[in-house]
Structure 1
Amino acid sequence: MPFDQVCPRCEQDWVRPYRFKSDGARFLLCTECDSMWWPGETVAIRCASFLDDVVAARLGVAEPWTDRVWADVLEPVPDPAR
């Protein structure tokens, strides 16, 4: 089932499901402003985390993108309707 909600933080893109490649943990992400929400969280400004902060914490580094790109760490969840 597609998730069609405009990002409440930037209002410039859709919030879409993604997952971490390392363990398959899913989350919702706005690729325009890098806001993310864990499953079960309300997709609202007050609940948003920033992708960079979460990835840095998961990897145990200060800056997650110095020697890697998004495709190394995360991927969109395939739409089962396609």
Structure 2
Amino acid sequence: MSTPPICPRCGQDRLHRYRFKSDGAAFSLCTECDSLWWPQTTTDIAGALFLDDVVAARLGEEGNPWTTRVWADVIEAVPDEG
């Protein structure tokens, strides 16, 4: 199994695989700076999105989506294949 890459935005953590519980849509996430990349995008600073923005848009909300929920309500880590 290969080591996940270091986050290009913050350089503080590795990118880990997560998915949305609602539909299983997978993405890479830096849990240090909350940067998100969809599988079809290049994992660089220009392609990064912020988890809060993506979650709010998926839920049809504006602003902070975490006022009435926590990450575990919305996303989950993808288990390592191995």
Q: How does the TM-score come out when normalised to structure 2? A: 0.94
Partner of 2:52: 52
The alpha-carbon deviation at position 73 of structure 1 amounts to 0.1
Q: Contact conserved, 1:3 with 1:15, CA < 8 A, in 2?
A: no
CA distance in 1, matches of 2:76, 2:2: 16
User: One-letter code of the match for 2:9?
Assistant: R
CA distance in 2, matches of 1:13, 1:34: 10
TM-score normalised according to structure 1 size = 0.94
List aligned pairs for 1:2-81, cutoff 5 A: 2=2, 4-62=4-62, 63-81=64-82
Paired positions, count: 81
SS at match of 1:79: coil
What's the C-alpha RMSD, in Å, of the aligned pairs?
1.1
Q: Deviations over 1:16-43 (max 9, x none)?
A: 1100000000000000000000012111
Percent identical:
65
Work out whether residues 3 and 16 of structure 1, in 8 Å CA contact, stay in contact via their aligned partners in 2.
no
Unpaired runs of at least 5, structure 2: none
Moved over 6 A (4+): none
The CA deviation at 1:3 is 5.3
